[in-house]
Amino acid sequence: MSSDPSGAPAPAGAALTVPFAHPDISEEEIAAVTGCLRSGWLTSGPRCAAFERDFAAFLGGGVEAVAVSSCTAALEIALAALGVGPGDEVITTDYTFSATAMSAVHLGAKPVLVDIDPDTFNIDCGKIEAAITSRTKAILPVHYAGLACDMTAIRDIAQEHGLKVVEDAAHSFPATTDGILIGQGTSEAAAFSFYATKTITTGEGGMITFADPAAAKKARALRLHGIDRDVFARYQVPNAAWRYEIVAPGFKSNLTDMAAAMGIVQLKRAWSFQKRRAELCRRYDEALAGLPLRLPPQAPPGEIHACHLYAVRLLDAAPIGRDDFIAQMAKAGVNCSVHFIPLHLHAYWRDSLSVSAEQYPASQRAFERVVTLPLFSAMTEAMQDHVIRSAKTLLA
């Protein structure tokens, strides 16, 4: 057994500790970042451009990719590039991290929260139309845990009402819907996360994919102060002009070449990461079956689940409450989490949107029962076995 996330042997007598997540970094990523440092080009430059090309090629479908500093920035810039602004409304889910809804607020728009499907934790498509008003501009679905939303239903609603769709794909790389990868033109835009816990990582970072080249061009200006061209080109192209023009009220959200260097390598390993995560999910499914908990939903036949999170729900018959379960697992050296605290439970959203638990019964119920177990591609079977034994000790 090992208490080190890398799998290195633990000292004799040391207790096994399992982190909630741990990045899967090889010597190739380290060499790529070192090479970037030695190149003398650290901020957005040739590696960032290469990462964008590689990511777009990975997804296929002729999409354009725009690298940014985070998924939060990706959501804000995607909405802005598609024309969302002051006075507009953006429909999204109550069961998500705050950044999803806050991306609308930062543009002067209002998020309108919808309850979730109690089986998938994804937005309840049957409740979207009731939330549409004359001010609605976009729908912002979240692919929870790596399981794709019903994008056919969402696109149909959007087309009927003339709305844009921006996908919060922070959990869903790589995942499919209707047999195609999320971000491969499944909507007007999709926002991905490369945070340290995600399926591939650049430490901090994000990517937006667009079906429309004009929207991608606008996003490239928005990500860096609204400048009308890539800044690095002003220094690299022979006889490049020093002049530039601000064409939009932009952000400071560009991705560095150091992060992109790591991302290029991580992208090459994406399918092996997904395969390993899927194997670990199957081991969890088999080992935890029969305990007083509900296992995560599977992807529909023929579809791919990104397996970003393994979120179980304790049943009423469980001999221990959710919070106590997490505390006892921590004492056993297993770090669990909760995804998510619904927006209606946060003071800012509760007060600014005048929302309450009664409006989101499925979201509230999910929050009261959910526990996210450790899951990461660098996880050893010894680590996972320790999680399983600890869970069985508390629940069997």
Cite the active site residues.
198
Strands (E), the chain: 64-68, 89-93, 110-114, 136-140, 164-168, 176-177, 180-181, 189-193, 206-210, 293-294, 310-314, 370-373
Q: Return the sign of the alpha-carbon dihedral for residues 278, 282, 283, 285.
A: positive
Helix axes 257-268, 270-288, angle to 10 degrees: 60
Q: Say if residue 340 is preceded by a cis peptide, omega within 30 of 0.
A: yes
Question: Of 175, 166, 114, 117, which is closest to residue 137 (Cα–Cα)?
Answer: 166
Supply the DSSP string of 229-255, one letter for each residue.
S-TTHHHHSTT--S---B-S---B-PP
In whole angstroms, give the CA distance from residue 175 to residue 4. Answer: 29
List the structure tokens of 329. Answer: 């697992």
Provide, for the chain, the percentages of residues in helix, strand and coil under a 3-state DSSP scheme, each rounded to the nearest 5. 40, 15, 45
Q: Say if residue 174 is preceded by a cis peptide, omega within 30 of 0.
A: yes
Task: Give the angle subtended at the CA of 85 by the CAs of 81 and 91, to the nearest 5°.
Answer: 90
